[in-house]
Amino acid sequence: MRPGAPHRTTDRTRPARPRPVLGTAPTASRRGLRLLMDAGPWLAVPPEGYGGLENVVATLTTELRRRGHHVVLGTVGESTLPTDGRVSAFASGQFPALAAPYADAAGIGATHALAVADEVRRQAAAGTPFDLVHTHLQVLGPAVLAALGPAAPPVLHTLHWDLHRNAEFYAAFDGRDRVFFAGVSDSQVARGPAALRRQTLGTVPLAVPIPAGPPLPRDERAGHVLVLGRLCALKGADTAVRACLAAGLPLVLAGPVGPFRDQASLDAALADPDHPGRDHPDVRWFAEHVAPSVDGDRVRWVGTVSGAAKDDLLRRARALLTPVRWPEPGGTAVCEALAAGTPVVATAMGCLPSLVDDGVTGFVAADEAAFTAALARLDELDPAACAAAARRRFAPAVMADGYERLYAELLRRTSVAPPRRPGRAVPAHRG
């Protein structure tokens, strides 16, 4: 399949379902929302290893379908998540292309966004319009859908990033009463421009699958602590290295360096003078600030991990370290760690103070000295308390409840009465 040619597996045999009648209350017989969930073209859903946004989409989509909603996924062809249909512009994830020069990568997001818009128009013409589109594609998702004007279905765009990125866009964007926003934390939205805040319906914290069994007790865990996620300057892996060397704790680094998933692929690129990934800023930073300390013993880089390997690393670690240097908007890895009963040591940036209950589920540090000192106090933290907090705050059902409230508010603002599925009303927005 050539790039840019939409690949659709949407259900074309589904009989036409009329739009809800404006101004009428939803009936008890209506089954649920028909929505397009757009994850973008960068990684498969669920991803293999790194991919916080895609993990969130996988978790939310699964829970919404369990509740009776019909979900078509905008993604890449290699995604494996069960859905009610799929629209793709690319057969595989395009994340490695982000290491290419801008002129070579600029059209990827736009190609995907246009395929999603085409599917929206196609479904409307077939008499099976989407009740709403929930897009997670940065900038291009809301921009392209807003350009459809009155023909656009109601659109909710989840913000997964620090809003200083592309601030000019969000400051100028007008959703024309069709496109609205959701944040992943209150601290994230508070940093956004006024125009964005006016069009934001609320915030829904991230969620992760909750393990069925109890967490591993502290005395049965391995000795290492863990950094999980992209290894780059903003994530602060070098701070974790220095802190662990000072505290005498072995450190495992799990995540990609730029477009490279492991040591072998990075070494191959560095051996090729023409490889574009050599000049990736994350690669240059890692080579200068982290690689000299990676000795395979006190500091190990295990590359990107996924599935059972990631679950095992999290479950056995003494703690997850998140020494970020940026206002973290969502903190997926923090939620994953706490769900595994693994406490978190974090810097006091962005949403992290709201996710970590200082002294109970981890420690929140004001600076590197406090971060290092916290590593000596890990035995004060109870894995069972961490797991209980995650079940209460970060379970998939909690996130789905939040988005159902925002969907209802979105449809109210766009003058469409929200459908209900049997036995359970879509709750009204209270925020």
Summarised one tens digit per residue, pLDDT across range 266-310 is 999 999 998 988 889 999 999 999 999 999 999 999 999 988 999
pLDDT at 4: 45
Token pair recorded at residue 253: 């680094």
Look at residue 14 in the predicted model and tell me its pLDDT. Answer: 37
**CATH 3.40.50.2000 is right for the domain spanning 218-392:** yes
pLDDT for 31 equals 61
Contact 64, 49 (CB under 8 A): no
Q: What is the pLDDT of residue 23?
A: 28
Domain definitions of the chain by residue range? 7-207+395-413, 218-392
Question: What does DSSP say about strands 7-8 and 86-88: parallel, antiparallel, or unpaired?
Answer: antiparallel
pLDDT value at residue 50 = 72
* Residue 13 confidence (pLDDT): 33
Domains 7-207+395-413 and 218-392 share a fold: yes
pLDDT less than 50: residues of the chain:
1-5, 9-30, 422-431
pLDDT tens per residue across span 62-88: 999 999 999 999 999 999 999 999 999
Return d(Cα 45, Cα 356) in angstroms, integer.
27
pLDDT score for 245: 98
Taking the C-alpha atoms of residue 125 and residue 146, their distance in angstroms, rounded to an integer, is: 18
State the pLDDT at residue 18: 32
Domain 7-207+395-413, second-level architecture: 3-Layer(aba) Sandwich (3.40)
- Over its C-alpha atoms, the chain yields an Rg (Å, rounded) of 22
- The pTM (predicted TM-score) of the whole model is 0.81
The predicted pLDDT at position 52 comes to: 82
3 state DSSP class of 102: helix
User: Cβ of 206: how many Cβ atoms within 10 Å?
Assistant: 28
